[in-house]
């Protein structure tokens, strides 16, 4: 198993690089979408321009998710070479991921609501269900963190070790 760990680290690095590349590409798409929304000389109604600008925000939110995933994978799996098993690490790893996912879902639901209101009002329940899903995910994450705290109290050395790793990462 020890011989496989360096290969996994290389694999994690490659996946993180792909997440970073996807974030850059999505940011470019968001810029193109924003430019199309605000470019002078086009006869578009304000509502269409606003929808385009909000769509660019949605693309940026997804780019942010990809970038955060790249950072999380690099920090947790490549730099620290931490294998997620201790309750403290599991909570931290999931929390970093879920924060970005919940924010991205909330932004995407806003984009979907605006689009539904202006283009297809019959899809408004679908947009609302995305917002409800983000709310449920946020509540479930809160319950997980609350329940996980009692497990962490049984393993105080895990918190100390994670804090020490944070200091090493900042240096």
**C-alpha to C-alpha distance for 113 and 121, rounded to whole angstroms:** 9
Contacts of 26 (CB under 8 A, 6+ apart): 59, 60, 62, 63, 66
pLDDT of residue 161: 61
Q: Tally the C-alpha atoms within 13 A of residue 9's C-alpha that lie toward its C-beta.
A: 14
Domain boundaries, the chain: 4-170
pLDDT tens digits, residue range 58-114? Answer: 888 889 888 988 888 888 777 766 655 566 667 777 787 788 788 888 888 888 888
Q: Comparing C-alpha atoms, which of 30, 98, 88 is closest to residue 60? A: 30
Alpha-carbon distances of 170 from 105, 164, 165, rounded to whole Å: 30, 10, 9
At 17, the pLDDT band (50, 70, 90 cuts) reads very high
**Pseudo-torsion of CA 7, 9, 12, 14, nearest 10°?**
-70
Instruction: Please check the confidence at residue 155 and state whether its pLDDT lies above 70.
Output: no
User: What is the pTM (predicted TM-score) of this model?
Assistant: 0.68
Radius of gyration of the chain (CA): 20
The residue-averaged pLDDT of 119-146 equals: 90
């Amino acid at each position: 198993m020890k011989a496989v760990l360096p290969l996994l680290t290389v694999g994690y690095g490659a996946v993180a690089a792909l997440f970073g590349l996807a974030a850059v590409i999505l940011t470019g798409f968001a810029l193109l979408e924003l430019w199309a929304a605000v470019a002078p000389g086009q006869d578009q109604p304000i509502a269409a321009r606003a929808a385009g600008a909000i769509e660019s925000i949605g693309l940026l939110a997804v780019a942010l998710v990809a970038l955060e995933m790249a950072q999380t994978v690099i920090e947790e799996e490549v730099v620290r070479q931490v294998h997620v098993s201790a309750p403290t690490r599991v909570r931290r790893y999931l929390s970093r991921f879920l924060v970005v996912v919940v924010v991205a879902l909330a932004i995407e639901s806003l984009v979907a609501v605006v689009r539904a209101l202006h283009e297809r009002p019959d899809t408004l329940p679908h947009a609302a269900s995305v917002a409800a899903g983000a709310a449920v995910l946020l509540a479930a994450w809160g319950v997980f963190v609350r329940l996980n705290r009692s497990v962490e109290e049984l393993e105080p050395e895990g918190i100390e070790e994670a804090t020490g790793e944070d200091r090493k990462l900042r240096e």
